[in-house]
């Protein structure tokens, strides 16, 4: 088997409950999860792992997701990586700020939990369409 056929997904989610949900939803052989445990990990791993998608928990208290997004979007090598974020549905300001920072798709925590794999794969297809 050729190991280079993996699709890398950078998971910037430190909450163990949600990380486990992501891992279980994306447990296909073609997916390789790369976990960002610290603020610096997000940019470093985005550069080294060449992820197809980056997942964010906008409510993560360990990582400053807004700062991470600013750094990603400011870097020409990283700014076009699709991003999927989730937040509490009542946090309208968080949603608006995420969109303003260029998050590709923001969904509620419930939708993220229920449709993780489908949401990630939707970004793959929109990525393909955007590139031609």
Topology of domain 3-82+93-131, CATH: Rossmann fold (3.40.50)
Q: Which of 82, 29, 19 is nearest to 54 (CA)?
A: 82
Q: Which residue has the higher pLDDT, 128 or 39?
A: 39
Give 14-63 pLDDT, tens digit per residue.
999 889 999 999 998 889 999 999 989 999 999 999 999 999 999 998 89
pTM of the model: 0.90
What is the model's pLDDT at position 113?
92
Every domain of the chain and the residues it spans:
3-82+93-131
- The rounded distance, in Å, linking the Cα atoms of 110 and 31 is 22
- The rounded distance, in Å, linking the Cα atoms of 48 and 44 is 6
**Alpha-carbon dihedral 66, 129, 52, 28, rounded to 10 degrees:** 120
- The rounded distance, in Å, linking the Cα atoms of 27 and 5 is 15
Give 72-119 pLDDT, tens digit per residue.
999 999 999 999 999 998 999 999 999 999 999 999 999 999 999 999
């Amino acid at each position: 088997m050729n190991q280079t056929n993996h699709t890398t997904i950078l998971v910037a989610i430190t909450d163990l409950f949600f990380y486990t949900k992501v891992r279980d939803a994306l447990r296909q052989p073609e997916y390789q999860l790369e976990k960002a445990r610290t603020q610096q990990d997000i940019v470093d791993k985005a550069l080294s792992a060449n992820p197809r998608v980056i997942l964010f928990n906008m409510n993560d208290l360990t990582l400053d997701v807004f700062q991470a997004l600013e750094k990603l979007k400011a870097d020409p090598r990283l700014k076009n990586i699709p991003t999927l974020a989730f937040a509490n549905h009542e946090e309208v300001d968080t949603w608006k700020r995420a969109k303003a920072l260029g998050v590709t798709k923001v969904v509620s925590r419930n939708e993220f939990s229920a449709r993780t794999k489908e949401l990630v794969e939707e970004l793959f297809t929109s990525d393909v369409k955007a590139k031609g």
